Amino acid sequence: MKKDQQTFCQATLLSSTAAVLAASCFEYDENNSADTSMYNLAVEAADPNVVMRTQISNITPHPNYDPESFANNIAVIRFTEISTNMEYYIDNLPSLWFSFLHAHYSLNADNTKWNDPVLNDVPLADQNECNAASSLFQAY
């Protein structure tokens, strides 16, 4: 969350104190530093009515992150430890277990409750489609 408002950035937890996400989720100054006081992390607990929020203490973008082309668009964040009693589910919606859907979860910043997931059926693209869509992808 940025300034207590929902963003479209999703983090992958590495531990109870670290996660990775897109570097483009943050605003940087001329020294490639981000003001951590503007950001916090909301994590869904085993109970969908519980939202765990923690303050981000450190943002480290990839040293070669390029905000113009989005090359190396990844960052590691550190935060206050999340409760170790929390249960993490790979997917808590059984309807998604046998499907190739992308589920986007969002948080209602007004009442700090999780919204229902938005499900998107995303067909897999072939190499030519990816090359046509992105000059960065073509480089690989």
- Whether residue 42 contacts residue 107, with contact meaning beta carbons closer than 8 Å, is answered with yes
User: What does the pLDDT profile of the chain (140 residues) look like in tens digits?
Assistant: 566 666 778 888 888 788 899 999 999 888 888 888 888 887 766 566 666 778 899 999 999 999 889 899 999 999 887 655 555 455 555 555 555 556 666 777 677 677 777 776 655 556 676 666 666 655 55
Closest by CA to 38, choosing from 50, 25, 51, is: 25
Percent of the chain with pLDDT over 70: 56
- Whole-angstrom Cα distance, residue 100 to residue 121? 7
- 5 alpha carbon, distance to own chain's centre: 14
Domain of 38, in residue numbers: 12-138
Q: What is the CATH number of the domain that holds 92?
A: 2.40.10.10
Say if 2 falls within a structural domain: no
pLDDT digits (tens, 9 = 90+) for 24-58: 999 988 888 888 888 888 776 656 666 677 889 99
Number of domains in the chain: 1
- 53 alpha carbon, distance to own chain's centre: 14
Say if 134 falls within a structural domain: yes
- Whole-angstrom Cα distance, residue 65 to residue 24? 9
Q: In this structure, what token pair is assigned to residue 9?
A: 């950035």
Say if 5 falls within a structural domain: no
Residue located via tokens 């104190």: 17
Return the bridge partners of 25, or none.
none
Say if 77 falls within a structural domain: yes
Say if 1 falls within a structural domain: no
pTM of the model: 0.60
